[in-house]
Structure 1
Amino acid sequence: MSPAVAAVVLGLLGLIIGSFLAAVSVRLPRDEDIVVARSRCMGCDQTLRPWELVPLFSWLVLRARCARCDAAISPRYPLIELGAAGIGVWAGFSGSSWLMVAATAVLGWQLLLIAIIDAENFWLPDVLTWPLAATGLIAAALIDRGSVLTHLIGAAVGFGGLWLVGWLYKAVRKRDGLGGGDPFLFAGAGAWVGWLGLPSVLLWASAVGLSLVFGMLVVRRSVSATQKLPFGVFLAVGIWLTWLSGPLGF
């Protein structure tokens, strides 16, 4: 399969995956059923009909309004669908084998959901971070079985290292500096990029975080030392860039 064909196929699949991710990002923080429950309008609570669930198309045709109650439909849904489609296209052009292409798409879609939930809720649920580590180890076994030990070590070092940083911060500052899910997400990073990639993940994450803080300073002129930031989003970006470009300096 040529890269162009793979990009088109994964881009279209990404629209469907993105629709599912958008639903999960709403239901999971509310502790609602993810698999069985039917999609409903947030305004009138009516079950959506099949033609109202077509990714991107339905939002455009309905002009971002519910067909029954005329309630506004948030643009976050088509944006998530487009984001997932973009990840699919990117994956289609990024790999030299179908295994690499599939792994890149799976990683990107997982990181997208994790980043959305952490950005909106400051929460990294185990139901998302643990599977990230599992898929990373599976990908390592399928792509290069000889590298599995490196990725296992990466998962252990990732969790232990970030947990220790969080523990030391709390011991010194007497307050939490990291969320409880961050070490598990960093374990997922190690599972995907190996222990050699962990410094690069942190460097990318720090660069993104500092860029955000700088932007906030430009807009607000002040940032509180206790202000919460979604570090999971920064780590997700770091994992994605390290997976695509490899560890910095190698």
Structure 2
Amino acid sequence: MQEVPGSLVARLPAELEQNSPGFMARSDYAFVFHAFALLFYVRTWMWHLTPAAAILPGAQGFGWFFRYLTFCSYTMQMVQLFVCCLAHVTRSPKRKQKLSAAADQMACALFCIASTVTALFFAIEKSTKGLVEGGLLDRPPWLSFSVHVANSLTAWLDMLIVEERSFSGSSRHLALLIALLYCCWLLVVRHHFGKFPYPILNKLPFPGGFLAFVALGFGVVLTTFQLGKVVKALVGRLAGSPPASPERKKKR
């Protein structure tokens, strides 16, 4: 019996997924998105090496711009985008599978870290009138958008575009580990730099205020991770995507 064109179109996504291993099962526009996002991230990151960036407080003293969670998470997202691009172009199925798994873990973990950076930045900026990174300074108008808005937009678009984002339990653990390591790094910075990189933390009583702020940060990380997981599942159901593989379910 000859199949009608409509049934062939309906079967096409499933056949493409079956014949395209791992990461490359996604449509080609995902690769275009990752490639352009990576170029944007690299351009923004490299700006921090210019003389224009050298006059900013973040460039002075111990830790450089890595004192800030914004720059740390931005750098990690840049690495994640690079891994995504590698997974797109590699021809080895075994290497593709490993890169796909690494990209998934990093993307899901950094989704909530980037969202936390954006949420805390604007919440504190609005409520304390500039007690996030030293108040109003002479920065390029595009810089704040790049590191405080585009970071979350990239994370959300990646989550929506890439079908394989699993939001597994191991990704949540990685996000919490990143948050914990940064909190420890903050204490190292305070010891060597003489103060926290964020003025609001210096105004809070130590250690009580610091621990309360850390608890708030962890709460935002967990909340945004769960939000991403719920949204991803909802989008998957609406799109008729197949459920996650048993291997990924075991990790949750």
TM-score (norm 1): 0.32
TM-score (norm 2): 0.32
Structure with a larger share of its residues in helix: 2
Say which structure, 1 or 2, has more relative contact order (CA 8 Å, 6+ apart). 2
